C-alpha cells in the first residue's frame, strides 16, 4: 500500500492512498469464497456454486463490497503507521478503481494542532476582591423577603410593587396577533422585566378596567422580530393583588432557612457572600492568566472542533431560552433566538474554551498531573448531584467504558492545571467597594 501524507494546514492532513491490485484481488477472492459458502441458488448445493455463476450474479456487488472494506481498512492502517489521531470523520474523495484493479483515493481529516506553552507560571494578574458590607447582606435579606411575600386581592388601584393579573390582545403592529395573546398573565409593577409603557399604564388601574397600551419595543429587544416595532394592546385588568412582605424577625429566619435567629441568618449570608467574592476573585485571576497564555501561545483550531463546540453551546442556549420563556398556557415562546445570531455570539466563546482545554492539557502533561481515586470519586459525586442519580450509578457508567473514564480524568486534570497556573500567577490585590 502506498501512502503520501500532505499537511495543508497545521490541523489538517490528507492521505493519498493507493491499494495495489494484488491486495484488491485478494479481498475480492476472499469475498467470492464467502459468497460461495453462503449463496443459495436454485439447482446448486451450498458451497458448490460455480465461479462463473457467482460472477454473473454477484460480480459487481462483490467489487463494490471489496472497495467498502479496503478503503476504511487502508485509512485506519495509514493512521496507525503515521501515528495520527483524527478529531473528526475523514472525508473520502477522488475514489478510483483503476484498470489494473488497484484502488486510489484521498482521505482528508483534522488533527489537534501542535501545542507549546512558553510560560505559565508567574504571569501577571489582578485579584479584584469585592468587600462585603452590611448593605450587601440587607439586599440579600430583602430579596428573600420578596420571595416570601404574599399577594392579596384588593379593590384599591394598582401601585408600584403590586401584582396585576391581565388578559391582553394585540390590536395592531404585530404580524401574527394570535401568537401574542395572553390570559391570566401576572405583571409585577415596578420590576425591570416589565415594559415601561405597561408599568405606567397599569399603575392606578383597578380590577375590571380595560386599557389600550401603545408599546415601542427597544431596538435591542430580544424578542424575534419585535425590536424597534410599535404595537397597541387591549389589556383587561382581572385582578389587583397587593404585596405584603413578611416581618423580618426570628420567625422569618426559621421559615426561610435552617437557622433559628435573624442574626444567625445574616451572619451566614455574610460568610456566604464573602466566599462567593473570594471565588469570583480567584476565577478572575484564572481567566486573566489564561487570556495571557492564549495571547502568548497562538493556536489554529480544527474547524470540526469549533463547529462541534459551537453547536453544543447554541443548542444549550436555545434549550435555556425555551425553558425560561414558556407561556402560561404551556406553549413555547415564539420569540426564539435566531441560530445565525447565536452562532455569531458564541463563536469566540467556543474558540476560547477549546484553546483553554488545549493549553491546560499541555500544562497538565508538562506538570505530570495525575488524578487520584479520591478526586474521581468526588467527580462522580458532583455528577450524581447534577443528574440526580447515585454516585455508584455514575461510577458504574464511567467504569463500563475506558474511553469515557479517560475523558473524565483528562477533564479533571485540565481543571487542576487551571488552578495551578492561577495559584502560580504574580497577583496584585485590588479591593472593590460598593454593590456588585
Tens-digit pLDDT profile for residues 361-377:
999 999 999 999 999 99
In a domain, 352, yes or no: yes
State the residue for C-alpha cell 430579596.
143
Range of the domain at 187: 150-244
Integer Cα distance of 428 and 405 in angstroms: 38
In a shared domain, residues 308 and 231: no
Whether 395 is covered by a domain: the verdict is yes
Query: What is the per-residue pLDDT for 336?
Result: 61
Length of the chain measured in residues: 436
Among residues 432, 426, 429, which one has the least CA distance to residue 121?
A: 426
Distance between CA atoms of residues 28 and 101, nearest Å:
10
Q: What is the pLDDT of residues 125-173, one digit of tens each?
A: 999 999 999 999 999 999 999 999 999 999 999 999 999 999 999 999 8
Asked whether residue 408 is assigned to any structural domain, the reply reads yes
CB atoms within 10 A of CB 100: 8
Q: Is residue 20 in a domain?
A: yes
* Per-residue confidence (pLDDT) for residue 52, from 0 to 100: 77
Q: Are residues 262 and 235 in the same domain?
A: no
Neighbours of 205 (CB within 10 A): 21
Check: CB of residue 351 under 8 Å from CB of residue 336. no
pLDDT at res. 329? 45
Residues 229 and 295 in one domain: no
Of the candidates 110, 140, 159, which is a domain's last residue? 110
Q: Which three cell numbers stand for residue 178?
A: 394570535
325/185 Cα distance (integer angstroms) = 13
Q: Are residues 280 and 190 in the same domain?
A: no
Task: Quote the pLDDT of residue 219.
Answer: 83
Same domain, residue pair 206 and 268:
no
Of 180, 213, 244, the position where a domain reaches its end is 244
**Statement to judge: residues 322 and 268 lie in one domain:** yes
We report the CATH number of the domain holding residue 311 as 1.10.3120.10
Please give the distance of CA 18 from its chain centroid, rounded to a whole number.
Answer: 41
Task: State the CATH number of the domain containing residue 226.
Answer: 3.10.50.40
143 in any annotated domain: no
pLDDT at residue number 335: 56
* Residue 73 is assigned to a structural domain of this protein: yes
Residues 303 and 397 reside in one and the same domain: yes
**For position 327, what pLDDT does the model report?**
44
Is residue 273 included in any domain, yes or no? yes
Name the residue among 184, 203, 6 with its Cα closest to residue 93. Answer: 6
User: What nine digits make up the cell of 355?
Assistant: 484553546
- DSSP element (H, E) containing 234: strand 230-244
For residues 69 and 156, state if they share a domain.
no
Indicate the number of domains in the chain.
3
Joined grid coordinates for residue 390 = 447515585
Please indicate, yes or no, whether residues 304 and 232 belong to a single structural domain of this protein. Answer: no
In whole angstroms, what is the distance from residue 400 CA to residue 355 CA?
30
Of 84, 110, 136, which marks where a domain is finished? Answer: 110
Q: For residue 34, what is the domain's CATH number? A: 3.30.70.1050
Which residues does the chain have with pLDDT short of 70? 99, 222-225, 324-337, 434-436
Chain-wide mean pLDDT for the chain? Answer: 90
pLDDT at 198: 93
User: Does one domain contain both 379 and 326?
Assistant: yes
C-alpha cell at 67: 472497495
The per-residue DSSP string of 65-82 comes to HHHHHHHHHHHHHHHHHH
Residues 177, 266: Cα–Cα separation, whole Å: 48
Same domain, 326 and 227: no
- With respect to residue 135, please indicate whether it lies within any of the assigned structural domains: no
412 and 305 within one domain = yes
Amino acid at each position: 500500500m502506498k501512502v503520501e501524507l500532505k499537511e495543508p494546514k497545521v490541523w489538517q492532513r490528507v492521505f493519498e492512498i493507493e491499494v495495489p491490485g494484488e491486495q484488491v484481488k485478494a479481498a475480492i477472492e476472499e469475498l467470492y469464497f464467502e459468497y460461495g459458502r453462503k449463496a443459495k441458488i436454485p439447482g446448486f448445493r451450498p458451497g458448490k456454486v460455480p465461479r462463473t455463476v457467482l460472477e454473473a450474479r454477484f460480480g459487481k456487488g462483490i467489487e463494490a463490497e471489496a472497495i467498502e472494506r479496503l478503503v476504511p481498512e487502508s485509512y485506519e492502517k495509514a493512521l496507525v503507521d503515521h501515528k495520527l489521531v483524527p478529531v473528526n470523520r475523514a472525508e473520502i474523495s477522488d475514489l478510483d478503481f483503476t484498470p489494473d484493479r488497484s484502488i486510489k483515493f484521498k482521505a482528508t481529516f483534522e488533527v489537534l494542532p501542535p501545542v507549546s506553552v512558553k510560560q505559565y507560571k508567574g504571569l501577571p494578574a489582578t485579584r479584584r476582591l469585592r468587600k462585603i458590607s452590611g448593605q450587601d447582606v440587607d439586599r440579600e435579606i430583602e430579596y428573600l423577603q420578596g420571595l416570601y411575600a404574599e399577594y392579596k386581592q384588593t379593590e384599591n388601584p394598582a401601585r408600584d410593587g403590586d401584582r396585576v393579573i391581565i388578559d391582553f390582545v394585540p390590536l395592531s403592529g404585530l404580524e401574527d396577533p394570535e401568537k401574542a395573546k395572553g390570559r391570566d398573565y401576572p405583571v409585577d409593577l415596578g420590576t425591570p422585566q416589565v415594559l415601561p409603557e405597561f408599568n405606567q399604564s397599569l399603575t392606578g388601574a383597578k380590577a375590571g378596567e380595560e386599557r389600550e397600551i401603545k408599546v415601542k419595543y427597544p431596538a435591542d429587544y430580544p424578542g424575534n422580530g419585535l425590536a424597534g416595532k410599535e404595537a397597541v394592546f387591549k389589556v383587561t385588568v382581572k385582578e389587583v393583588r397587593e404585596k405584603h412582605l413578611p416581618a423580618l424577625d426570628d420567625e422569618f429566619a426559621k421559615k426561610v432557612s435552617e437557622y433559628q435567629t435573624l442574626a444567625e441568618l445574616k451572619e451566614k449570608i455574610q460568610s456566604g457572600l464573602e466566599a462567593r467574592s473570594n471565588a469570583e476573585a480567584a476565577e478572575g485571576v484564572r481567566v486573566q492568566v489564561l487570556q495571557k497564555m492564549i495571547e502568548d501561545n497562538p493556536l489554529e483550531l480544527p474547524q470540526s472542533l469549533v463547529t462541534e463546540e459551537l453547536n453544543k453551546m447554541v443548542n444549550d442556549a436555545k434549550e435555556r431560552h425555551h425553558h425560561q420563556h414558556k407561556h402560561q398556557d404551556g406553549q413555547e415562546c415564539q420569540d426564539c433566538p435566531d441560530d445565525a445570531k447565536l452562532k455569531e455570539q458564541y463563536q469566540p466563546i467556543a474558540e476560547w474554551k477549546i484553546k483553554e482545554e488545549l493549553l491546560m492539557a499541555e500544562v497538565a502533561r508538562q506538570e505530570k498531573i495525575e488524578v487520584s481515586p479520591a478526586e474521581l470519586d468526588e467527580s462522580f459525586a458532583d455528577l450524581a448531584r447534577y443528574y440526580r442519580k447515585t454516585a455508584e450509578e455514575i461510577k458504574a457508567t464511567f467504569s463500563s467504558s475506558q474511553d469515557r473514564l479517560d475523558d473524565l480524568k483528562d477533564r479533571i486534570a485540565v481543571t487542576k492545571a487551571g488552578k495551578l497556573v492561577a495559584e502560580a500567577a504574580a497577583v496584585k490585590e485590588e479591593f472593590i467597594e460598593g454593590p456588585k
